[in-house]
Structures are given as structure tokens and as C-alpha cells.
Amino acid sequence: MQPLKQYWIAEALEKDLGDPTNPNNVMSFKQVIDLDEREEFPHEIIDWLYNWKLQHYYIPTECGGEFTSFDEFIAFVRVLSRRDQTSAIAFTTMFWSYLTWMAGTDEQKRTLSSFMKDANGAMCLAYSEKAHGSDLLASDVRATKVPGGYILNGEKWPINRATISGVTFVLAKTDEAGGARSLSLFMVEKSKIDPANYTHLPKIYTHGIRGSDMSGIRFENCFVPESMRLGAEGVGLELALKGFQITRALCAAFSQGAADTALRTTLKFALGRQLYGKTVFDMPQPKRTLTDAFLDILICDCATIGVARGFNTMPEQISVWSAVVKYFVTTTLETVVQNVSVVLGSRFYMREEHDWGIFQKVLRDNAIISMFDGSTVVNLHALLLQLRQLTKSRARNAGRNQDTLQARLLATFDLTQSLPAFDGKKLELVNRGGDDVLQGLELALTSLSDLKTDSNLNSEVLQQIIQLTQMVQEELKTLDHQITESTFQFGHEQAPEVFDIAKQYCVLHAAASCVYMWLYNRHHLGDFFASGEWLALSLRKLLLTFRPAKALPARLGDEAVSQELVRLYSHNRMFSIVPFQLAQPQQQETTTDATQRLQLQA
Ligand SMILES: Cc1cc2nc3c(=O)[nH]c(=O)nc-3n(C[C@H](O)[C@H](O)[C@H](O)COP(=O)(O)OP(=O)(O)OC[C@H]3O[C@@H](n4cnc5c(N)ncnc54)[C@H](O)[C@@H]3O)c2cc1C
């Protein structure tokens, strides 16, 4: 069994869902493609997941469920998403329940927990409005105070699972002149409001996730009791933004599941297809594309897992960290899917060829991840507003409290460390304490230098890791200087150049995450991980954002990485720094078996 406990649920779910290439299994590629073609909601799959009791892992233990940590959560969402993002997203709207776990009364928590566990209940998030998109404060939906509750009026659109859900989290205006405190959040239980006062809007036909219940909801003079308000009146926007910090970071898991399937199905093709007397994988160019895709997945893994664990260890910094992964991981993995499509050749564009056409579905479905839950620009905007403060903190904290910083980094990145309980009250709207991940680069360089005496390490690889980490630090200094010199003003009309700085910040953050992940896990994630070639290659890849190839150390040979990719594929393991076991293909009836049986019958 996998030694890291946080992967046990993912492995168990994988095993029970079975091989996705077996058409008879629930969530098989064939089944999800059929549903997609018919644009049908995946009721049967969702029921299967409820019967498996997966919903318990969306409810924290203190609220009666089994959820303990975000790194466990992202592992099993990857399992769902590698098979079908439509079902994964449909089931995972349940994670909006975190709004209640964070801000609800004991009674609201009990109600929701029982709704999810005992009634197979699901929820949706109704924030967006047709006229206002990302501009939440402009909401036209009104909740007017009346004795005992509110009268809700207005329309939310487009909303995933608006129709097929029993609870709707609605953001509505309760104070016209309240500014940032003009919105309140309601946990509307449809079973307890008058059906005459709300209607569901028609299904929206989408480019990807076609089987989703994409629709909307309209309230007309709908009475909602005061007991359905979450938190105090006027704290709706603050709650919404804190809830986004959680769900945006977790969106990375959807992209990682998709990237795994895109790479796996393409690798299968490349290993099997013969051209010019060799396999496609034997040709240097396709091989490099697939190896680079694997490296990107490993980089994203380090960033995502670090942030997932950061919820427990450093919740005060999540306002920055979640924006980093929502931007960096989703867009990087979108590019991975595009890049490997070139190796799949014409088949990527065909809707039936190759593993039932799962690639074209992944390509369409995955495109939404970087857009919903706050688009790329919205996340970069949330990050860039904090850059000046981060730069100041970095200068102020330089060289101070190194032992506590080291301890926090260890708790976050060492996957064998047990995590403290998550305390949602510690989430901050804006980061005040700095960013440990980039603050710790000096410490990382000292630790790397100490490894020079380790005879198990290839000195050339270690030297590159050190050199490239120094470059990451140099680029951070340049960025800090640019931020200090800029004439930056708060607001929505930011220059494109500031967005570029925010993008670069994300790349540096990801690079530093890879370095810590290696430093703190070299002894327990296997030989491939420990040898560090993947890290040197990944850092070099990330630094290409800043410097031309010829200004970087020469690329190390990547044969070990290519071989690991094929090894993980052959053993049905996740493409990950923690390559946990995936469902094994069913024992096929081999020719030998069949022949033996025929001989016995004769
Ligand atoms: C499949 C799908 C599922 C969805 N699910 C839900 C759901 O469950 N619940 C829900 O509430 N909503 C949902 N949405 C809505 C989604 O969150 C909105 O589409 C989103 O808020 C963006 O709004 P918009 O597309 O109208 O773009 P707008 O916000 O109108 O943006 C228009 C343009 O302005 C740019 N822009 C916006 N803000 C900035 C900024 N600060 N700086 C620079 N440029 C900016 C954008 O990039 C874009 O180019 C879903 C949408 C889709 C497509």
C-alpha cells in the first residue's frame, strides 16, 4: 500500500472505479463520451459516487464527515477528473459547502451535512449575473429585509448545477449604499422556499463539459428565512472571496486529472504507432514533447500540493498562493494538452478515434478550468494588487526568524509531516505576512549547498540545481525592484505590464515550490525523484520565461525522465511526484489461455 496516507482514498476510489478503458466500467471513457455526445447529465456516475460515500470526504470531520486535508482532496479529484471532468465538476460543486463550514451556524452545518450525507444532496454557487460577469459588487439580485427574513428578486446566470441541486448559495445585495459591505450570502434550501417564487433557466449548450447542468435561477418575490443567511449581513463579498481562495486553488486538481489523460492516451499512441520502422516515441521530437509535458505535470504537482498543504500550515498566505496556482497550473496544463495534441496528430481532432475519442473531450472540457471560478485575469489581478505589499514584506523579513521559516516550509512541503487542522478563520483577504515560498530561497540555497557532500547525488545535476535556484533568486530581486519602482495604483485599470509581473511571480513561486519539494522529500519519494534530473530540467524550463536558452546552463540529458514516464505508464501509475497506483486493466483473456482451454475441451 502507498505509504503516504493522504493518497489512500484516491487509490481506493481508483481501484473501485476500475480501468477507464474497459467500456463496462462506470466512468469508462466509452461511457463518458456517450454521455457527452448526448449532452446528458451523468446521473448514473453521480449516484455511483454517492453510493461509494465520496460525499463524506467533502465534509470536515468536525462537521460529521471524513474530510481532513486538502492534499487528500486534490488526489481523489484528480482520479475523477482523469476520467471525466464533467462528472468531476458536477460532483465537486459540493465543495461550495465550505462556505457553510467556514461561516455557518452549528444548525446550518448540521443541516448541510445531513443533506449531503443522508439525502445525496448537492449545491451550486449563484454569484454570476449576465450583465455583470466578474463584477460581483454590481449585483442586481436584491435581498430586501422583511420580518423574519428577506425577499429575494433577480436572476443568476450562468450557474453550474443551478437546476439539479437542492441548495443554492446566492450572493445578493442587502444594502444599496454599503460599498464592499453591500452584499450578503444566503444558503437557500430549495425544499424550504415556495416553488412558485423561483424558476430554473434553460440549459446552456457549452463547448465542453457538455453533459453539465449549466443553467441559471430566477427569484421573484421569494421569501427566504433569516436562518438561511450565512454570516452577518454585509459580509457576503468577504465570504465569497475567502471561499474562492479555497476553490480556486483546488481547481488545479481538475486540470491535473485532464493533463494525465491527455498525456497517457497520447503516449499510448506514440508507443504503439510505427512509422519509418520505429515507434513515434522513438523519434526525438515527439519524445521531447511528451517528456516536457511530463515535466510540466511534475512542476504543477509541486505547486499544487504545496498550496494544498499550505491551507493547513499557512492559511494567512493563501490569498497569494491560491491565485498563483489558479493562474499558473491551469494555464500551464492547458498548454500541455495543446502541446501533446501535436504528437497525437490528426487523431486529436477526431471524435471517435483512439480511446473512444477521449482526447478531444479533454481538450474541450479542460478549457473551462482556467476561466471559471475567477478567470486568469481576475486571479492575476487579485495577485498583482498584493505585489507591492509582498515586496515590502520580503525586504523587511530578509534574514529574520530563519528557524521558524524553515519549520513552516518543512511542515508544508515534507509530505510525511502530519498537518495541523485547517482553521478557515485564519484566511486573510490580502496577504500581510509575506510569501514564505519565495522568502525561503536563501534557506533553500544553503540546504542545497550542504548537499555537496552527499556522495549519492550526481554532482553535475546538483550543480545545475544550485545554479538555476540562484537564477530564480536573481529574477525575484529584479521583479522586486520593478515593483518598487513602478507607479502602481490600486484599482481595476492595471497596465498589461503589471499583469506580466504577476505572471512572472507565479513562475518563480512554482520554481521555488519544486526546490522545496525535492529538498524535503528526497528520502521518501523513490529513486527517480531523489536523483533530481527532473528538478534541474524543470527549473531550466521555468527560467526560459525570463532568459533565452543560451543564457542558461546546457540542458541535461532527459533519458531518465523519458524512461520514468514510460515506467509509470506501463505500471498504471499517476503521472505525479507521488505516482500512486491507478486501476489495473482487467486480466485480458490471452491467446495462450484461450488455446489451453480449447485443448482441455478437446
Ligand atoms: C461553464 C461555466 C460554468 C460557470 N459556472 C458558474 C457557477 O457555477 N457559478 C457562478 O456564479 N458563475 C459561473 N460561471 C460564470 C463565470 O464565473 C463568469 O463567466 C465569470 O465570472 C466571468 O464573467 P464573464 O465571462 O461575463 O466576463 P466579464 O467578467 O464580463 O469579463 C469580460 C472581459 O473583461 C476582462 N476582465 C474582467 N475583469 C478584469 C480585470 N480585473 N482586469 C482586466 N480584465 C478583466 C475579462 O478577461 C474578459 O476579457 C460559469 C461560466 C461558465 C462558462
- Read off the pLDDT of residues 112-130 as tens digits, 9 standing for 90 and up: 999 999 999 999 999 999 9
3-state secondary structure at position 480: helix
SS3 220: strand
Label residue 532 left, alpha or beta by phi (over 0 means left) and psi (-120 to 50 means alpha): left
Query: Does residue 378 line the site of ligand 1, with CB under 6 A?
Result: yes
Check residue 594 and give its pLDDT: 40
How high is the pLDDT of residue 315? 95
| Minimal-distance CA residue to ligand 1 atom 45 | 377
Kindly report whether the peptide bond that precedes residue 158 is cis, defined as omega within 30 degrees of 0.
yes
Asked whether 385 lines ligand 1 (CB < 6 A), one says no
Instruction: Please report the pLDDT score of residue 588 as a whole number.
Output: 47
Task: Outline where DSSP puts E strands in 55-162.
Answer: 123-126, 142-146, 149-160
Host H or E run for residue 516:
helix 496-521
- Whether residue 597 has pLDDT greater than 50: no
Tell me the Cα Rg of the chain.
25
Q: What percent of the chain has pLDDT over 90?
A: 92
Q: Is the pLDDT of residue 600 over 70?
A: no
Q: In terms of Cα–Cα distance, which of 364, 370, 340 is closest to 351?
A: 364
Provide the 10 A C-beta neighbour count for residue 322: 28
Residue 487 pLDDT greater than 90, yes or no: no
Task: Give pLDDT, residue 252.
Answer: 97
Ligand 1 lined by 159 (C-beta under 6 Å): yes
Per DSSP, the chain holds a count of helices (H) and strands (E) of: 21, 10
Which atom in ligand 1 lies closest to the alpha carbon of residue 372? 17
For residue 434, pLDDT over 80 is answered with yes
Q: Which of 372, 381, 503 to mutate to test the pocket of ligand 1 (most atoms within 8 A of CB)?
A: 372
Q: What is the pLDDT at residue 71?
A: 95
Between CA 506 and CA 472 the distance in angstroms is 12
Q: Give the whole-number percent of the chain exceeding pLDDT 70.
A: 97
From residue 516, give the alpha-carbon distance in Å to each of 112, 299, 302, 305, 507: 38, 12, 9, 11, 15
The model's confidence at residue 599, banded by pLDDT at 50, 70 and 90, is very low
Residue 320, ligand 1, Cβ within 6 A? no
371 CA → ligand 1 middle, Å: 7
Distance 89 CA to ligand 1 centre (A): 17
Residue 590 has what pLDDT?
A: 40
pLDDT at position 361 over 70? yes
| First vs last C-alpha separation in the chain | 43
Residue-wise pLDDT for 529-576, tens only, equals 999 999 999 999 999 999 999 999 999 999 999 999 999 999 999 999
Taking residues 461-477, report their average pLDDT.
98
* Spatial CB neighbours of 498, under 8 Å, sequence gap ≥ 6: 384, 387, 486, 488
Contact 227, 204 (CB under 8 A): no
C-alpha 128 to ligand 1 mean position (Å): 8
pLDDT tens digits for 21-48?
Answer: 999 999 999 999 999 999 999 999 999 9
Beta carbon of 377 within 6 Å of any ligand 1 atom: yes
Instruction: Please give the number of the atom of ligand 1 that sits closest to the Cα of 127.
Output: 11
Beta bridge partners of 172: 184
Testing ligand 1's pocket by substitution, the residue of 92, 94, 128, 493 carrying the most ligand atoms inside 8 A of its CB is 128
SS3 362: helix
Q: At 493, is the pLDDT very low, low, confident or very high (cuts 50, 70, 90)?
A: confident
What are the distances in angstroms from CA 220 to CA 155, 158, 197, 224, 512?
9, 18, 5, 11, 51
d(CA 136, CA 129): 8
Query: Is the beta carbon of 368 within 6 A of some atom in ligand 1?
Result: yes
For ligand 1, atom 35: residue with the closest CA: 377
> Grid coordinates standing for 183?
452584499
Average pLDDT for the chain: 95
User: Residue 372 C-alpha to ligand 1 middle, in angstroms?
Assistant: 7
The set of residues, in sequence order, having a beta carbon less than 8 Å from that of 379 and lying 6+ positions away, is 248, 323, 326, 327
Stretch 241-246: mean pLDDT, rounded?
A: 95
Kindly provide the b/e burial profile for residues 147-161, where b requires at least 16 CB atoms within 10 angstroms of the residue's own CB. Answer: eebbbbbbbbbbbbb
Which residues have a Cβ under 8 Å from the Cβ of 519 and sit 6 or more positions away? 413, 444, 447, 448
**How many other C-beta atoms can be found within 10 angstroms of the C-beta atom of residue 487?**
5
Cα(345) to ligand 1 centroid in Å equals 32
Question: pLDDT band at residue 581, thresholds of 50, 70 and 90?
Answer: very high
Asked whether residue 595 carries a pLDDT value surpassing 90, the answer given is no
Say how far apart CA 309 and CA 235 lie, in whole Å. 27
Q: Which residues have CB under 8 Å from 375's CB, separation 6+? A: 134
Q: What tens digit of pLDDT does each residue of 131-190 get?
A: 998 899 999 999 999 999 999 999 999 999 999 999 999 999 999 999 999 999 999 999
380 lines ligand 1 (CB under 6 A): no
> Own/partner pairs for 283-286, CB < 8 Å, 24+ apart?
286/343
Distance CA 13, CA 20 (A): 12
Q: Given a cut of 70, is residue 591 above it in pLDDT?
A: no
* Angle separating helix axes 70-83 and 85-92, nearest 10 degrees: 140
What is the pTM assigned to this prediction?
Answer: 0.95
- Which of 216, 215, 170, 168 lies closest to 192 in space, CA to CA? 168
Map 244-298 to HEC letters.
Answer: HHHHHHHHHHHHHHHHHHHHHHHHHHHHHCEECCEEHHHCHHHHHHHHHHHHHHH
Q: How sure is the predictor about 587, in pLDDT bands with cuts at 50, 70 and 90?
A: low
Would you give the distance in Å from CA 158 to the centre of its chain? Answer: 21
- Look at the chain and count its residues: 602
